[in-house]
């Protein structure tokens, strides 16, 4: 199956991703070795520390794509943003100050690392009314969701899709996040997967390692679902909602805490 990474920081010199052309190319060579053929470049937007302008993303994607062709690296790049939740998002999107994912109706949203802001549900409602389909980046790494995964249920019920980080499944962010990630996948709380790669030292792609982990856990059907949904994002096709298995999550969450 075609491997599409819908969340990666591979544009050099714009945020906390690669610093220069060489670093970007080295990252993309590694991505190609892992079998990734399409990457949506999701530089930070509206982040407290980073905001990469709309046109800068377009310019850097174009120039980096030319480098890839020159270096014969078989990857196609697409524009995108990882957008920190903000109360003016619908307006900024309509003014083309923020990128959707690969020019689709899907947008990648990021919550603060420790909380779920009180206006989150209302912002989701406004985005959907405006015709956008929000995807929540790495919910397994949000502290409020880690403390009570049922909080994610409320957001999914409002129409949010969810993207798991590949490295979360490999233990990159610790055993607690790894166990929660598997529990969320098994309870149908996760719709798609992305690397959130930033470099080749500490935050690499880990795509094959994550898929192999799910394979060892007998989650072949989940792998197919995640990768199929990734392809649907790129094609701007519908993602079918999942039937959440709250009982499975409660059981796994209980044993998870007992094992800590």
pLDDT of residue 2: 85
Least confident of 37-51, 85-99, 243-257: 243-257
State the average pLDDT over residues 137-159: 94
Please say if the pLDDT value at position 259 is more than 80.
no
Q: In which band, very low, low, confident or very high, does the pLDDT at 248 lie, cut at 50, 70 and 90? A: low
Rounded CA gap, 147 and 139, in Å? 12
- What pLDDT is stored for residue 251 in this prediction? 58
Q: Tell me the pLDDT tens digit for each residue of 151-183.
A: 999 999 999 999 999 999 999 999 999 999 999
Q: What is the pLDDT of residues 172-227, one digit of tens each?
A: 999 999 999 999 999 999 999 999 999 999 999 999 999 999 999 999 999 999 99
Q: Where are the domains of the chain?
A: 3-259
What's the confidence (pLDDT) of residue 163? Answer: 98
Mean pLDDT of the chain: 93
pLDDT of res. 255: 47
Task: Give the total residue count for the chain.
Answer: 260
Average pLDDT rounded to a whole number, residues 136-163: 95
CATH architecture designation of domain 3-259: Alpha-Beta Barrel (3.20)
Q: How far, in Å, CA of 115 to CA of 92, rounded? A: 23
pLDDT at 11: 98
Q: Which of 116-125, 150-159, 240-249 has the lowest mean pLDDT?
A: 240-249
pLDDT of residue 54: 98
Position 241 scores a pLDDT of 75
Tens digit of pLDDT for each residue in 89-107? 999 999 999 999 999 999 9
CA 126 vs. chain centroid, Å, equals: 21
Q: How confident is the model at residue 244 (pLDDT cuts 50, 70, 90)?
A: confident
């Amino acid at each position: 199956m075609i491997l599409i990474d819908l969340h990666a920081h591979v544009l050099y010199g714009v945020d906390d991703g690669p610093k220069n052309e060489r670093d970007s190319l080295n990252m993309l060579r590694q991505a190609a070795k892992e079998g990734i053929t399409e990457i949506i470049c999701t530089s930070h937007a509206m982040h407290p520390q980073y905001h990469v302008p709309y046109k800068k993303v377009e310019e850097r994607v174009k120039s980096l794509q030319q480098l890839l062709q020159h270096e014969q690296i078989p990857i196609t790049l697409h524009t995108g943003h990882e957008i920190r939740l903000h109360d003016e998002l619908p307006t900024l999107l309509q003014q083309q100050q923020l990128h959707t994912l690969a020019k689709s109706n899907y947008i990648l949203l990021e919550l603060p690392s420790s909380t779920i802001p009180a206006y989150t549900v209302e912002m989701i409602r406004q985005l959907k009314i405006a015709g956008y389909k929000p995807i929540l980046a790495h919910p397994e790494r949000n502290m409020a969701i880690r403390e009570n995964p049922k909080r994610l249920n409320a957001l999914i019920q409002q129409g949010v899709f969810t993207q798991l980080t590949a490295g979360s499944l490999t233990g990159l962010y610790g055993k607690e996040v790894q166990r929660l990630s598997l529990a969320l996948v098994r309870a149908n709380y996760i719709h798609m997967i992305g690397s959130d790669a930033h470099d080749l030292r500490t935050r690499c792609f880990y795509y094959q390692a994550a898929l192999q982990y799910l394979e060892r856990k007998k989650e072949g059907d989940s792998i197919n679902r995640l990768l199929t949904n990734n392809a649907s994002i790129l094609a701007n096709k519908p993602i079918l909602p999942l039937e959440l298995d709250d009982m499975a999550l409660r059981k796994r969450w209980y044993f998870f805490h007992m094992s800590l």
